[in-house]
Chain A
Amino acid sequence: MKLFTRYNRVNLALTAILLVLSAAAYYLVINRILIHELDEELDDYKQKVESFANSSGNLPEKGVLEDLVVKYEPSPEPVAEHYSTVKQYDPDEHKMEKFRQLVYTQRAGNNSYRVTIAKPLEGFRLLRKTIVYSTLGILAIIILVSLLVNHLLLKRLWNPFYDSIRAVRDFRLHGKNPPGFPKTKIEEFDFMNHNLDNVLRNARTDYQLLKEFTENASHEIQTPLAIIRSKLDLLIQDESLSESQGKILNSAYIAIKRISKLNQSLLLLAKIENNQFTEVEIIDVKQELDEKIRQFMELLQDNHIKITAGLQPGYISANRELVDILLNNLLGNAIVHNRPEGAVIIELAASRLTISNTGVERELDKSRLFRRFYKAEQHTHHNGLGLSIVKQICEHTGISINYHFENGFHVFSLEWKEPAGS
């Protein structure tokens, strides 16, 4: 539910209640005033009757023209003068009607009479009708107007809000453009935009610093690693080393290689995120794949893995270095995570590449597969960054990558937009 629809509902309900209450109050007040007027009219007539009776000793004839119903009844007992509203038969309208009446005792000569002066309250019905209808009318007008206002005015009033939300939605931490919030004259929106702008700018600055930090840290790590490795290279020249010392050094070498690879992978990820691979050219994917397969042939043969390549011509507009890394990682994975006597199938079409391989007989965890440091098996010397680099390269290059497990094959399929003019 939209904020204003909600507000509108509450508002309309309250307005309706208020209108009904005020209509009731209105009715009561007007009612009182009218009755007061009526009472005065009755009182006037009473005065007339009194003065007539005092001067003539008789009661006056009942008026024919007046709208009043007057009754005289002889009554020895005096009655207290009082006003009241009663229902009685109206001879003019031929039905029961409400009347306002005044009852009092009038002496005329030696006789005492109970005088009843009554006037129909028919005006009140009209009053009630008028008030009910006008209230309903006003309510209808309010609803209509608020709907119109909602449709026409409020949409426009809320426009800056939606513009801002859109700006935030389209904002990318690694993008280049500042978020760009539209100017607005409305104070609340302006306040919101100002703060959003600050938050996003700060986030981007922090992100930038973090990326630079990753890159710098990776670079800084290379030099001490180079020193350690070079010292080990010198140490093994010593002819007096024992075999057990050799084993220790070997472990140290392997560990250094791991750090070094890890560091290079992190650096590569940082560089892709930092958009440092800007040079794009049209690459003959078939040619690249042929070359890669040749490079990996020894590894394939040694593990008795059968490779089947169905390569149609295919081209992609991308950075050469990244495509090289991408194919290297995908093919390397297909071989390294294979089983002996397994198979690798590579299929290339104009803008689609699938690399399938046998391996563990179960589907890999799709949700975590492309995450950093994901490893299908724990104790391995792989750093678990290969596929997140693949993913990052795909995102950077505009390739969509998917994984599924089918008939014992782990299938990675890549699709991209064919470059124009190829």
Chain B
Amino acid sequence: MKLLVIEDERDLSESICTYLGQEQFVCETAYDYEAAMEKIHLNEYACIILDIMLPSGSGINLLATLKEEGKSEGVLIISAKNSLEDKINGLKLGADDYLAKPFHLAELGARVAAIIRRKSFDGKTRITIDHLVLDISERSLKSTAGEEIALTRKEYDLLLYFISNKNRVVTKEAIVEHLWGDEIDMADSYDFVYSHIKNLRKKLTQAGCPDYIKAVYGMGYKFVISS
């Protein structure tokens, strides 16, 4: 699957591409309005990651052009401006999601995965990975043997987050932000992550799945699925 990253900060653009490229994505980059316009016209992408604050301020024009031309690509806006107004404006213009800088790459990965799922499954809302079958619309999990694995809301969100960032290290901090939002400033929030992960791991292994979740040097976790 191809992604287009429209971001004038080359360093950031590079990070995004490296991270997302570690999984199934092929990343193309555009650093300015003209290059982006050309690529949009030439190719089709699964998702476009768009920095709305390009130096010429034309990020919003790009979004408008995409919508005018009836392109079906999902668009994720990334912006240094974290304001509700900006977010609403972007979403009104047809963007699918909005992420404020500075973000965790894992969060970006999860958002991109969610957009692609929404755009491309067309009613097919199941993800099958190794021994797991996730039903996105019902928010439920079964094993491939058909056995129901009951998860709490947080556990389900956590699992989906891991799957979107599979085979990559995700920090505890990124998980906290994903599950509780960054408004809740909790000193001991890492303990929550730990207990949720412990429960999820237990439920998965009890259902006969391998132990997917590996702790990495006390700073994060990796959801390992050997393909």
Contact residues of A with B, CB < 8 Å? 219-220, 222-223, 225-231, 233-234, 236-237, 241-243, 245-247, 249-250, 253-254, 256-257, 260-261, 264, 267, 271, 276, 295-296, 298-299, 302-303, 321, 325, 328, 332, 336, 381-382
Contacts and interface: CB of A to CB of B under 8 A. Distances in A.
Contact of B218 (A220, A246, A254, A296): A246
A230 B169 contact: no
B80 interface: yes
Interface size class of B (residues with CB under 8 A): 35 or more
Contacts of B18: 234
Can you list the 9 inter-chain pairs with the closest CB atoms, starting with the nearest? A246-B217, A230-B15, A226-B102, A233-B105, A226-B101, A222-B80, A225-B102, A222-B101, A250-B219
Given A296-B184, A332-B185, A234 B15 contact: yes
Interface in B179-216: 180, 182-189, 191-192, 216
Nearest to B168: A237
B184 A332 contact: yes
Interface of B: 9, 11-12, 15-16, 18-19, 22, 53, 80-85, 100-106, 168-169, 171, 173-174, 180, 182-189, 191-192, 216-220
Given A219-B80, A230-B105, 7 more contacts: A226-B80, A227-B15, A229-B105, A236-B169, A302-B188, A325-B183, A336-B187
Nearest to B12: A227
Nearest to B189: A299
A249 B185 contact: no
Contacts of B220: 236
A302 B191 contact: yes
B166 to A, nearest CB: 12
Contacts, number: 113
B12 A299 contact: no
Given A257-B173, A264-B82, A226 B12 contact: yes
A299 B219 contact: no
Nearest to A328: B183
Given A222-B102, A227-B9, A233-B105, A246 B219 contact: yes
**Which of B22, B182, B217 has the most chain A CB within a 10 Å cutoff?**
B217
A33 to B, nearest CB: 94
A223 B84 contact: no
Nearest to B107: A233
